[in-house]
Amino acid sequence: MFNVQYSMNLDRGSFASKVGIILATAGSAVGLGNIWRFPVETGSNGGAAFIIIYLACVLILGIPMMTAEFIIGRRTHTNIASAYQQLAPGEPWFLTGYAGMLCVTLILSYYSVVAGWTLKYAVSSALTEMSTVSDTAAYFADFASSTWSPLCYSIIFLLITNLIIERGVEHGIESFSKVLMPVLLLIMGVLVFGALSMPGAKTGVEYLLKPDFSKITADVVLSALGQAFFSLSLAIGCLSTYASYFKDDVNLGQTAASVVSLDTAVAILSGFIIFPAVFSVAGVQPDAGPGLVFITLPNIFNHVFGGLPVLGYIFSLLFYLLLVLAALTSTISMHEEVTAFIYDRYQVSRKRAASVMTIVSIILSVLCCLSIGPLKDFTPFFGMGFFDFFNYLTAKFIMPISGIFLCLFVGWRLKRELVVEEITNKGTLPVPAWVCSLFIFFLRWIAPVIIALIFVNELGWG
């Protein structure tokens, strides 16, 4: 019954260098989740205390789960659905792969809308339009709720993603990540330096470094866990797809540790950009919610640098460019997961596979865009429109459930020898036996229980 055919393109490509692997995979992880969502979550959940819980989550869950995803992809060198099918033939595990592909498709459709906003803000900053806006809240509301402009920006974003994907793994994803990620890190460095010289820097840094443990509640812990999952692109097949292009000598555990470290560093650095800026203007609160980046910050860029508008111009342009690059490396990875499935399974060219995924994403993205604008009263999904519903369904349901299945699959279903072979690269890496045992124990007993607890609590059943 579950005997689905899988096939493999012989020439599906691979990443050429280890640096390329780390930068491309970190590119998937580093995105709007770090620079937009992380500061919002930190601001809404009390600052430093949230960051400590977040760090615990990425270290405890992030590294082992990312390694587990890598094992599935690198072992099979195929797309996520076929990978499960190959590792557990005739069993329904492959449905986890399909759930992952559905999840990235839905995430991509609303993510590309926000990515489109970042592009619009980068363009407006470049054209100096941003610096003349006096009411940034009205500016954002007018733009996001209009019909054509946000729609065009998100479509442009998806078309750029398509162009990079079409070029293949080595010449598209890897080459672009090798340029985009260092540029991104450089821009971050400049912005952190700039933010730390703002008048509110001291208060902002204290906010990030001095935890108030009375702020830690069950809700804060759950938000931190949810944020860790989203930020690391965990559990929905994206990382397995990238790992299917890894060569056999790549150290999976070490790669996971490097990617998790880079992703976490970028999240924390964005805190060091945003909060010093936020505290530089009297009366602005750090818990401004999702509007922090699109309403509060432009306001700050215009005010703090009032005396020296050129600095405001540079800061604003660099900041939104940073968001565009971060979002782009993430949309590429989401797009690739489904593109890989289409070309592996249907043996079509990469170009054709990519265009099918692009067309589907554009259609869904248009629905998400319109649900914030002209269709905002159309709320058929439990009172939610497309944008909110896709966000809710993916973050609260599909991601945690897929995460549990991922752990159970690698912990219980895969043979211990296979898992050990992948972690140690067939015995060529000096990974001690107790590390392998701990890893498997963790995936069997600890991670699924933690995720199940989040899941139940987030649904309000806890």
Interface with ligand PFF, residue 72, by CB under 6 A? no
Among 9, 24, 26, 34, indicate the residue that binds ligand PFF (CB under 6 A). Answer: 34
Distance, in Å, from the CA atom of 218 to the CA atom of 225, rounded to the nearest integer, reads 11
Interface with ligand PFF, residue 230, by CB under 6 A? yes
Stretch that binds ligand PFF, among 6-14, 227-235, 245-253, 343-351 (CB under 6 A): 227-235
Among 155, 185, 238, 295, indicate the residue that binds ligand PFF (CB under 6 A). Answer: 238
Amino acid of residue 269: L
344 to each of 79, 144, 215, 244, how far by Cα in Å? 7, 37, 49, 12
Interface with ligand PFF, residue 276, by CB under 6 A? no
Taking residue 210's Cβ as centre, other Cβ atoms within 10 Å add up to: 10
Report in angstroms how near the CB of residue 109 gets to ligand PFF at its nearest.
12
Contact in structure between 385 and 371 (CB atoms under 8 Å): yes
Stretch that binds ligand PFF, among 66-74, 82-90, 228-236, 274-282 (CB under 6 A): 228-236
Report in angstroms how near the CB of residue 425 gets to ligand PFF at its nearest.
26
The H or E element that residue 55 is part of is: helix 48-57
Distance, in Å, from the CA atom of 389 to the CA atom of 383, rounded to the nearest integer, reads 9
Interface with ligand PFF, residue 333, by CB under 6 A? yes
Among 20, 21, 25, 31, indicate the residue that binds ligand PFF (CB under 6 A). Answer: 31
Contact in structure between 267 and 192 (CB atoms under 8 Å): no
What per-residue string of b and e applies to 364-373 under the rule 16 or more CB within 10 Å gives b?
A: bbbbbbbbbb
Distance, in Å, from the CA atom of 65 to the CA atom of 137, rounded to the nearest integer, reads 39
Using CB under 6 A, count the residues that bind ligand PFF: 16
Nearer to ligand PFF, 36 or 315 (CB): 36
Interface with ligand PFF, residue 118, by CB under 6 A? no
Interface with ligand PFF, residue 334, by CB under 6 A? yes
Interface with ligand PFF, residue 158, by CB under 6 A? no
Nearer to ligand PFF, 29 or 357 (CB): 29
CA 163 to chain centre: 20
| DSSP state for residue 5 in the 8-state scheme | -
Binding residues for ligand PFF restricted to 93-112, rule: CB under 6 A: 104, 107
Taking residue 447's Cβ as centre, other Cβ atoms within 10 Å add up to: 23
244 to each of 215, 228, 337, 389, how far by Cα in Å? 42, 23, 10, 31
Interface with ligand PFF, residue 61, by CB under 6 A? no
Interface with ligand PFF, residue 264, by CB under 6 A? no
Interface with ligand PFF, residue 32, by CB under 6 A? yes
Query: Which positions touch ligand PFF (CB under 6 A)?
Result: 28-29, 31-34, 104, 107, 230-231, 233, 236, 238, 330, 333-334
